[in-house]
Structure 1
Amino acid sequence: MDFATSEHGGDDRTPGPGPERGTGPVPVALTGARFHGDPAALYRELRREHGEVVPVLLDGDVPAWLVLGYRELHQVTSDPELFSRDSGLWNQWPNIPADWPLLPVISREQPSILGSVGERHRRRAALLGEALEAVDAFTLRRHAERFADELLDAVCGAGTADLVAQYAALLPVRVLAYLFGFPEEQGPDLVAALTDILDGQGRARAAEARLTAAMTRLVAERRERPADDVVSRLLANASAQGFSVEEVTHDVMVMLAAGHQPTTDWIGNSLRLMLTDERFAASLFGGRSSVAEAMNEVLWEDAPIQNAAGRWLSRDTRLGGRALRAGDLVLLGLQGANSDPRVRTHGSALTGGNNAHFSFGHGEHRCPFPAREIAEVIARTGIEVVLDRLPDLDLAVPEETLVRRPSPWLRGLVELPVRFSPSPAVGGR
């Protein structure tokens, strides 16, 4: 991929020699402390230097384009024909080694819904939406409260806790596992597997194998003995639509992984905001009116999914003044688009509970609406139960010492140490 050589500011930029030749704007490595320290400042810097479409380098110096502009990202996500989800179009495949660390995210053959395109994708997404939409909201909240109480029972007598490792990182997957039909005793192992996969270290492959085996067993059981759960509903409709058992298995794995970590970070980032911003102090002392506002502000300012891959150009085009070539990889800069000054010039974009952020994506490949509702119920319930059970909650360390996960993709806290008055366990409710 060649990157533009002219300075930002005009629409006459044309492809020039690549960065390896020492000319043109230097691509930005999509790694490093800047992405998890102060990404807002980084996105402002990238806009000044490169504009709304930024040349970046992934692991192994693999080139791509990062779209930061709100309008440009809307264009990308609204045109699945030009900006395709078909990774087979990628012009960099000859340069990708077999052990490339991003292959779990960007693979040539993706058996899940992430790799489907066109009408087949639309039918597949509809099946997932129908299976999730049947989840009863009252039942969902009741079980989210029950699991939240169980987790807090384990720490409430100590007077201190890490609300990431001991709470937020455990709650979403426990609820989702119940909705999908897993036995409750499998919840802890699913949490451990997803944690190891996210870490991407030596245990990741073994954890992925454990998760696949558990999901395969569950799907096989539900084929034999259907129940009132997401997997059973999905299986009942998938065969009639021409989708295989293997496709269902991979889709449920994607739903579990995609639903767990972003919801975990939504809880953690929202609690951090409420503990450090005096605008939300009332909520910490028995009020609830600000919980939804804090959660919405996080989606605008501190989104759990900062950047996402990806789209591939089906033909040459121009975007944000850049000349992109067929087969180029385009990354979705969700947080960058949310902070685009062109849509934030007339006061805060948060006014009136504005939900026009990109945190759930946009277009036909966005997060399905029922999945968004489930994530919101889990996150809001998790936050409210904390505030109910630990009413004098306070941050146990200076705010500036809180550490973020070192990732340009997902933004969340490594830990959230808090202190509170010890209280007795409630034993579920």
Structure 2
Amino acid sequence: MTSQPHTPGTPPPGCPAHPGAVPVYMPRFQRDPSQMYRDMRREHGTVAPILLDGDIPAWLVLGYREVHYVTANSDLFARDSRRWNMWEHIPADWPLMPYVGYQPSLMFAEGAEHQRRAGAISEFLSGVDQLELHKYSEKVADEMIDAFVGRGEAELMAEYATQVPIRVMAMLFGFDEDEIPHLVRDVAASLEDVEPMAAYQRVVERMAALLQRSRTNPGHDLPSHLLAHPAGLTDDEITKDLLVVLAAAHQPTANWIGNTLRLMLTDPRFAVTLSGGRRSVGQALNEVLWEDTPTQNFIGRWATRNTQLGGQRIQAGDLLVLSFAAANTDPQVRPDFSEGSRGNQAHMSFSHGEHSCLYPGPEIAEIIARATVEVLLDRLPDVALAVEPEEVRWQASLWMRGPVSVPVEFSPAYVAGDAGF
């Protein structure tokens, strides 16, 4: 990348022109993304020119129909990031490199190669007994609640919402019980700013060791299934794809749980009435996917040839960032939840097309999320926010949507086995 100084908010010298581009890395975008989507829609339409970190130009796809079109046309808007026409301007330590740096994983595979690898994983997920998965999710949720129920207070993101999904996925992966706390710690650390790469490397090493153990002693788990699959996956392919599955399942599901708990604890429509009625957990889960989807924006797609989209000229190799959040709140398609809209699941929260969330991944995520929320409400019927609703802050991120913390209070209870009981 050029070392010449440039004015922040404009592409670096040598980069393609991108008139009127919006620098989406600015704090104001992270503070109020919904307003920024509205502003960009008003100024640019359904596809807006943006600047990513370092003022690298890209396109933000805002319209529901445009996101649907891009995700449905993988030949025109492909996943292999090596097509990007900006690589000569990207430094090795670019903050978004984890999203765009090509790896021979399921994430960047295309066509027959993607079908080979995605098919093997979907086959395993389709064989998961969903009733047993729900029971196991409830068991994990109960164990997490047991750890804080006697205090009468808890912080539901760190102590609960982020804990249950990773522990359930660890079971599907075949990790031993004594390995799970270390996996949970390293996955959490890999998402933080302090030494994330060291933590990520430990997760990689755990996956590689798990794979070797599955080869020696196969079980009813995902690594054993992939090793035996007729697709003939290599160890390196399996390790990389396991990491993709774990990442896709963990933080988005944790934020889905956290966002749903925040909604149910702050919105009077979900409060328990004197008659005992309230809108259901299922309604809250679905509304969150429309209004506060965990995956807000996703890098992305790369144009394979010159084309047009939303009235914009897209050049071959241009990067498109898909705004699932903006698409879901597109005024032309969004449901009216104030009228009690039910069952509308046409949101883009799990993407669409060849590179959508692997089937039946969304069903599995919903089972985990629903069980986690329902167990909490059943165990802690008087749970309430310990702060004012407006004090529940969102994570500062262009990519993910979730509360920083959800502090709550409730009537303390004792767990069977506690001293004196």
TM-score (norm 1): 0.90
Q: Deviations over 1:26-46 (max 9, x none)?
A: 311222333443322221111
Aligned with 1:396 (options 377, 386, 389): 386
1:414-429 to structure 2, matched below 5 A, reads: 414-426=404-416
- Quickly say closer, same or farther: Cα 1:260–1:46, change in 2 above 3 A: same
Where does residue 357 of structure 1 map in the other structure? 347
In structure 2, what is the Cα distance between the partners aligned to 1:426 and 1:172?
Answer: 24
Where does residue 74 of structure 1 map in the other structure? 68
Where does residue 213 of structure 1 map in the other structure? 205
Where does residue 139 of structure 1 map in the other structure? 132
Structure 1 vs Structure 2 CA RMSD: 2.3
Q: CA deviation at 1:284?
A: 11
For the residue of structure 2 that corresponds to 1:312, the secondary structure is strand
Where does residue 265 of structure 2 map in the other structure? 275
Where does residue 232 of structure 2 map in the other structure? 242
> Which amino acid counterpart does residue 43 of structure 1 have in structure 2?
Y
Contact 1:84 1:313 in 2 (8 A): yes
Is 1:123 aligned to 2:116, yes or no?
yes
State which drifts further: 118-127 or 206-215: 118-127
Where does residue 164 of structure 2 map in the other structure? 171
Where does residue 148 of structure 2 map in the other structure? 155
- Quickly say closer, same or farther: Cα 1:408–1:350, change in 2 above 3 A: farther
1:182-193 to structure 2, matched below 5 A, reads: 182-193=175-186
Q: Deviations over 1:56-115 (max 9, x none)?
A: 11111111101000111111001000101111110001111111121111113x121001
In structure 2, what is the Cα distance between the partners aligned to 1:133 and 1:180?
Answer: 15
**Overall identity of the aligned pairs, in %:** 50
Aligned with 1:49 (options 11, 18, 43): 43
In structure 1, what is the Cα distance between the partners aligned to 2:286 and 2:340?
Answer: 8
Aligned with 2:241 (options 245, 251, 270): 251
Aligned with 1:332 (options 304, 314, 322): 322
Where does residue 105 of structure 1 map in the other structure? 99
> Which amino acid counterpart does residue 223 of structure 1 have in structure 2?
R
For the residue of structure 1 that corresponds to 2:58, the secondary structure is strand
Q: CA deviation at 1:289?
A: 5.6
- Quickly say closer, same or farther: Cα 1:350–1:18, change in 2 above 3 A: farther
In structure 2, what is the Cα distance between the partners aligned to 1:105 and 1:51?
Answer: 26
Q: CA deviation at 1:282?
A: 2.7
Q: Deviations over 1:338-378 (max 9, x none)?
A: 01112238887972310000000000100012211111111
Aligned with 2:222 (options 204, 227, 230): 230
Q: CA deviation at 1:401?
A: 1.2
- Quickly say closer, same or farther: Cα 1:73–1:183, change in 2 above 3 A: same
In structure 1, what is the Cα distance between the partners aligned to 2:16 and 2:248?
Answer: 39
In structure 1, what is the Cα distance between the partners aligned to 2:226 and 2:91?
Answer: 35
In structure 1, what is the Cα distance between the partners aligned to 2:417 and 2:256?
Answer: 26
Count how many residue pairs are aligned between Structure 1 and Structure 2: 408
State which drifts further: 31-40 or 324-333: 31-40
State which drifts further: 330-339 or 56-65: 56-65
In structure 2, what is the Cα distance between the partners aligned to 1:148 and 1:205?
Answer: 29
In structure 2, what is the Cα distance between the partners aligned to 1:142 and 1:171?
Answer: 13
In structure 1, what is the Cα distance between the partners aligned to 2:19 and 2:325?
Answer: 23
For the residue of structure 2 that corresponds to 1:293, the secondary structure is helix
Where does residue 302 of structure 1 map in the other structure? 292
- Quickly say closer, same or farther: Cα 1:22–1:316, change in 2 above 3 A: closer
- Quickly say closer, same or farther: Cα 1:56–1:159, change in 2 above 3 A: same
In structure 2, what is the Cα distance between the partners aligned to 1:390 and 1:353?
Answer: 27
In structure 1, what is the Cα distance between the partners aligned to 2:39 and 2:294?
Answer: 21
State which drifts further: 279-288 or 245-254: 279-288
Is 1:40 aligned to 2:34, yes or no?
yes
- Quickly say closer, same or farther: Cα 1:418–1:48, change in 2 above 3 A: same
Where does residue 356 of structure 2 map in the other structure? 366
In structure 2, what is the Cα distance between the partners aligned to 1:283 and 1:271?
Answer: 17
In structure 1, what is the Cα distance between the partners aligned to 2:354 and 2:401?
Answer: 24
Contact 1:270 1:295 in 2 (8 A): yes
Contact 1:179 1:230 in 2 (8 A): yes
- Quickly say closer, same or farther: Cα 1:288–1:370, change in 2 above 3 A: farther
Contact 2:226 2:233 in 1 (8 A): no
For the residue of structure 2 that corresponds to 1:408, the secondary structure is coil
In structure 2, what is the Cα distance between the partners aligned to 1:19 and 1:402?
Answer: 37
- Quickly say closer, same or farther: Cα 1:27–1:142, change in 2 above 3 A: same
> Which amino acid counterpart does residue 140 of structure 2 have in structure 1?
F
Contact 2:270 2:279 in 1 (8 A): no
- Gap runs ≥5 in structure 2: 1-9
For the residue of structure 1 that corresponds to 2:408, the secondary structure is strand
Aligned with 1:114 (options 96, 107, 113): 107
For the residue of structure 2 that corresponds to 1:298, the secondary structure is helix
Aligned with 1:290 (options 257, 260, 280): 280
- Quickly say closer, same or farther: Cα 1:77–1:156, change in 2 above 3 A: same
TM-score (norm 2): 0.92
